[in-house]
Structure 1
Amino acid sequence: MHSARDNASRPAIAPLLLAIGLSASSFLTGTSALALSELQKTPGQVEQSAPGQGGDKPAPSPTSPGVPMPDPLVNSQAGQSNDKTPGAEDSSKPVEVIYDISKVPEPVRKMREQIVEAAASGDLERLRPLLGTGATQTQVTVGEPTDDPISALKDLSGDPEGDEILAILLDVISTGFVHVGQGTPDEMFVWPYFAEKDLKALTPPERVELLRIVTAGDLSDMQEFGGYNFYRLGITPDGKWKYFTAGD
C-alpha cells in the first residue's frame, strides 16, 4: 500500500512518454523529408551548395559555356526556298521578274519598242519587217515553220483583220519579263514572266496581272495543267525576235 507522499515523489510517467514519442516523430519526419528530397533529384543534376559551404562556386547558368543553346530557327532554314519555279535555271532560286526595260541590252529594248509600235498601230502588216525570213524567221506556230507568218497570225486571231492577236501581243509584252538561259545558246528575254513561274504560288497582285491576259477559267486550267500555256514572246540578247507562240 502506497502513501500519498510516494505518489508525489514519482515523476509523471504519461507526460514523459508523450515527450519521448514527439521527439521520435520529429526525427522520423525529418528523415523522411530528407529521403524524399534525395529521391526527387534528377539523374545528373548538380547539387547546389549554399553560400559558404563546399566552396563559393556559383551554380551553372543556362548560358554558361558547355551548355549549347538551340540553333536559331533562321539558321536551320538557311538555303531553303519554297519558290521553286519550273523553267528557272536553278530551281532552288526564285525567278527574278524584271520590269525595268533599261536593264536589258539595247538590241532587246529596241526590238521590243518596235513590236509595241507595230501592234499599237492596228496594222498587222507592220509586224512583217520584224519577223525576219528564212532560218531567222520568228516562230509563230508550234511545230513546222510557216511560209507566211503574218497570214498564220491572222488565222490565229478571232477576227479577220488580226486585231485580237495584236491586242494579245501588246498585253503580253506589257508585263514583267524574265532573263533565262544565261551563258547558253538558249539565252532569252521572255514575256510574260508567268511562262517561268509556278502558277500555284502566285501572289494576289500577280494573279491580277495574269488575269489581264487570260480568263479565270484559263488560269484554273493552267494550274491543273501545271504551267502557263498561253502566248509568250522571246527576244534574244542580240535583238532577234525568236518566237511568239502559245503552248507549254
Structure 2
Amino acid sequence: MMISSRVRLLRLTSGLTLMLASAGVALPAIALSDIKDITPPAAESSEPASNEELDVIEDSIPVIPDPDPLIRSPEQEEAGDIEDMEPAGPPAEVIYDIEKAPEPVRRMRELIIEAAKTGDISKLKPLMNPGPDQTVVPLQTPDQDPIEALMAISGDSDGIEILAILLDIFSTGFVQVDKGTADEAYVWPYFVGKSLGLLTPQEKVELLRIVTAGDVAEMQEYGNYNFFRVGITPDGRWKFLSVGD
C-alpha cells in the first residue's frame, strides 16, 4: 500500500516530537496548514517508496507501551495484602484452655501472675532461674541484672508497666511452638503464631487489650506481632520475656 509523503512526514514529525519531549525539549505547536507538501516532482521519481523504506520509517517512531493498571479493585487489594502477610507455614493452634498445658507450665504461669499482682517487680526474680538457664530478657548490657533491665524498658521507674503487660498477656490464649525440639515452649500471647492479617474481629479486640491501634497499624506493615511475649518450657522453666520480631 502506498503512503503519501504528507503521511510519512506526519509520522516522522510525530516520532521526532515524542523523542524530543522525552528529552525535556519544548517544541512550538505546529498546525497542519504549516506543513508543506514536499512530494518530489513526478519527473524526479516515478516509483513509490518500497516496503523496506516504509518499515524503516515506522521502526524509527518510538512505541509507548501500554501502562499497567494504576488502580486495583478492593478485592485485588485485599487478596494481595493477605497474601503478603500470610506465614510460610500453617498457623499454630490457638489454645485457650490452660488445662491443656502441662502441669509445670500451668504452675509457672500462675506464679508469674501472682508475682505481677503484687506490684513489686522484684518478686519476679526468684522465678527467673538464675544461672546458665536464666530467663532471657531484653538487656542493655550482657551483665545487667534482669530486673534492672525490665525496669529500664518500663514506662515507669518502678517497672509496674511490665507487670501490667504480663497480666494482659497471660489473659489471652497461647500457642505451642517448636514442638518436639530443644526450643519447645508454650508462648503467650497466641498472636506470636498467627498472622495479623488473619485475625477475626474478636481476636482483634484481644490484641487491642495489649497494644494500641497505632501499634497494630505499625505491626500490620510487617504482618506479624512484635510486642511482648512470654515463653515457658514444658518442664516449667520461664524461658523468656522478650519484645520485638
Instruction: Give the structure-2-normalised TM-score.
Output: 0.63
SS of equivalent to 1:134 = coil
Given that 2:122 and 2:147 are in contact with CA atoms closer than 8 Å, whether structure 1 keeps it comes out as yes
Q: What is the aligned partner in structure 1 of residue 220 from structure 2?
A: 223
Q: Which amino acid aligns with 1:151?
A: E
Q: What is the aligned partner in structure 1 of residue 87 from structure 2?
A: 86
**Deviation (angstroms), 1:222:** 0.3
1:211 matched to 2:212? The reply is no
1:164 matched to 2:161? The reply is yes
Given that 1:138 and 1:244 are in contact with CA atoms closer than 8 Å, whether structure 2 keeps it comes out as yes
> Could you tell me how far apart the structure 1 residues matched to 2:205 and 2:168 are?
13
- Counterpart among 107, 110, 117 of residue 114 in structure 2: 117
Given that 2:139 and 2:146 are in contact with CA atoms closer than 8 Å, whether structure 1 keeps it comes out as no
Q: What is the aligned partner in structure 2 of residue 242 from structure 1?
A: 239
1:184 matched to 2:181? The reply is yes
Deviation string, structure 1 residues 38-62 (Cα, Å, up to 9, x no partner): xxxxxxxxxxxxxxxxxxxxxxxxx
Alpha carbons of structure 1 residues 173 and 85: separation in structure 2 relative to 1, 3 Å:
farther
- Mark the structure with the bigger radius of gyration: 1
Q: What is the aligned partner in structure 2 of residue 139 from structure 1?
A: 136
Q: Structure 1 segments of 4 or more deviating over 2 A?
A: 84-87, 142-147
Q: Which amino acid aligns with 1:118?
A: A
Residues paired across the two proteins, number? 162
Given that 1:85 and 1:196 are in contact with CA atoms closer than 8 Å, whether structure 2 keeps it comes out as no
Of structures 1 and 2, the one scoring higher in RCO (CA 8 A, sep 6+) is 2
Q: Which amino acid aligns with 2:191?
A: F
Alpha carbons of structure 1 residues 144 and 124: separation in structure 2 relative to 1, 3 Å:
same
Over aligned residue pairs, what C-alpha RMSD do you find? Answer: 1.8
SS of equivalent to 1:152 = helix
Map 1:30-179 → 2, pairs under 5 A: 86=87, 91=89, 93-141=90-138, 145-179=142-176
Given that 1:142 and 1:245 are in contact with CA atoms closer than 8 Å, whether structure 2 keeps it comes out as no
SS of equivalent to 1:190 = strand
Identity within the alignment, %: 60
Point out where structure 2 has 5 or more consecutive residues left out of the alignment. Answer: 1-82
> Could you tell me how far apart the structure 1 residues matched to 2:105 and 2:181 are?
17
> Could you tell me how far apart the structure 1 residues matched to 2:102 and 2:109 are?
11
> Could you tell me how far apart the structure 1 residues matched to 2:100 and 2:143 are?
33
**Deviation (angstroms), 1:142:** 6.0
> Could you tell me how far apart the structure 2 residues matched to 1:161 and 1:104 are?
32
Alpha carbons of structure 1 residues 238 and 126: separation in structure 2 relative to 1, 3 Å:
same
Alpha carbons of structure 1 residues 103 and 168: separation in structure 2 relative to 1, 3 Å:
same
**Deviation (angstroms), 1:204:** 0.2
